[in-house]
Structure 1
Amino acid sequence: MEDPQGLEGSQPVGLSKHPSGIVPTLQNIVSTVNLDCKLDLKAIALQARNAEYNPNRFAAVIMRIREPKTTALMFASGKMVCTGAKSEEQSRLAARKYARIIQKLGFPAKFKDFKIQNIVGSCDVKFPIRLEELAYAHGAFSLYDPELFPGLIYRMKQPKIVLLIFVSGKIVLTGAKARDETYTAFENIYPVLTEFQKVQQWSPSCSCVVEISSLVMEVSFLWQRVTT
């Protein structure tokens, strides 16, 4: 069995470096930016039609735009979190649009220290996985308690990614700062997933059973004729 400590794959770029043939789909990009000015959240909520603010529930203005379809959390300190984009480029574009909205409301907003904080990806390996055995063999990295959560939580050290592995073969990867980390983490874990692939029992259909039974009877009849 492959040593879990040795899960360090090369950085895959393009199908030639995706031996699995599977490329995880990016589902959500979380980024942050510093607008470098104090924000009057109540004033923003009153002036911007795409914003909501309830300080009793959350200490930030929640603002949404349709293109790219994203949500921003704006704090009084001037810090902003942008979530919902499907790519790094979309996330940066959305963050700039939010900054422009704040500028148009009369705040001296800037665009400083933009950073991707988290990338969430997902994929489907198309085969079921024996989670209990995987958790036992990779106990140093795995947490699996189906009574609390149906998936196995796998904390990879290099790259530092958390994977949610489900018995169905669905995989969620989170914690990456760059998409290549997501791709590398999946290529690292894929041989482990294939090792613990659940072999499905073949269950013949009724028609198949009838055909097999008929064939057995025919062979038996022919055998009797040959031997008599």
Structure 2
Amino acid sequence: CKTIFPNLFLIIHRNIVSTVNLACPLDLKSIALQARNAEYNPKVLSYSAVIMRIREPRTTALIFSSGKMVCTGAKSEEQSRLAARKYARVVQKLGFPVKFLDFKIQNMVGSCDVCFPIRLEARAVSWIYRMVKPRIVLLIFVSGKVVLTGTVGI
């Protein structure tokens, strides 16, 4: 592994989960029938939501009848906000009085490579380390790879 600064590790964002309130009740069946790249099958899922996907930024949204929406798959906070706005616009074009309220990043997942093997006790392949402040969970692997999750601002 080549690093210019051995004490500085680049954390790469892998997935960002955000939520937004569209502030109006939604007819999920109507949305699924009219929107492209949308599916709705309440019998398969344990919860009732439309699953919608867009290509740019490549994300997936869960849209609930309450008007709440969860957006996953973005690689940055800006992409997450842009994707959520695009989903809201699609729903708005279908005739719903959509607003864009309370956008919030709920979770971030990132990864990095410390560029050297890590000796873990008890011959474990990985180790879970939970930090209190900031509230982050690290999955540390013997290969030197680290996955960080559970906080905003990784």
Assess same fold via TM > 0.5.
Answer: yes
Q: CA deviation at 1:151?
A: 2.0
Q: CA deviation at 1:19?
A: 7.3
RCO greater where, 1 or 2, for CA within 8 Å and sep 6 or more? 2
* Counterpart residue identity of residue 94, structure 1: A
Matched residue, 1:169: 144
Query: CA-atom RMSD, angstroms?
Result: 1.6
Per-residue displacement from partner, 1:162-206 (whole Å, max 9, x unpaired)? 00111111100001112xxx2xxxxxxxxxxxxxxxxxxxxxxxx
Matched residue, 1:49: 36
* Counterpart residue identity of residue 8, structure 2: G
* Counterpart residue identity of residue 78, structure 2: E
Matched residue, 1:118: 107
Higher strand fraction (1 or 2)? 2
Establish whether residue 71 from structure 1 lines up as the match of residue 46 from structure 2.
Answer: no
* Counterpart residue identity of residue 17, structure 2: V
Q: Distance in 2 between matches of 1:129 and 1:71?
A: 35
Matched residue, 1:99: 88
Distance 1:23 1:114, change over 3 A: same
Q: Distance in 1 between matches of 2:82 and 2:56?
A: 9
Name the SS of the counterpart of 1:98 in structure 2. Answer: helix
Matched residue, 2:126: 151
Q: Distance in 1 between matches of 2:6 and 2:28?
A: 49
What is the aligned counterpart of 1:24 among 2, 6, 11?
Answer: 11
Name the SS of the counterpart of 1:109 in structure 2. Answer: coil
Name the SS of the counterpart of 1:102 in structure 2. Answer: helix
Per-residue displacement from partner, 1:32-67 (whole Å, max 9, x unpaired)? 000001111111111112101110122111000011
Give the length in aligned residue pairs. Answer: 148
Establish whether residue 90 from structure 1 lines up as the match of residue 65 from structure 2.
Answer: no
State the percentage of identical aligned residues: 74
Unaligned runs of 5+ residues in structure 2 are: none
Name the SS of the counterpart of 1:30 in structure 2. Answer: strand
Matched residue, 1:191: none
Q: Distance in 1 between matches of 2:12 and 2:99?
A: 32
TM-score under structure 2 normalisation? 0.91
Q: Distance in 1 between matches of 2:143 and 2:38?
A: 39
Q: Distance in 2 between matches of 1:20 and 1:176?
A: 22
Name the SS of the counterpart of 1:100 in structure 2. Answer: helix
Name the SS of the counterpart of 1:176 in structure 2. Answer: coil
Establish whether residue 34 from structure 1 lines up as the match of residue 21 from structure 2.
Answer: yes
Q: Distance in 1 between matches of 2:74 and 2:7?
A: 26
Unaligned runs of 5+ residues in structure 1 are: 1-17, 134-144, 183-228
Larger Rg: 1
Q: Distance in 1 between matches of 2:139 and 2:51?
A: 28
TM-score under structure 1 normalisation? 0.62
Per-residue displacement from partner, 1:123-149 (whole Å, max 9, x unpaired)? 11121112227xxxxxxxxxxx95xxx
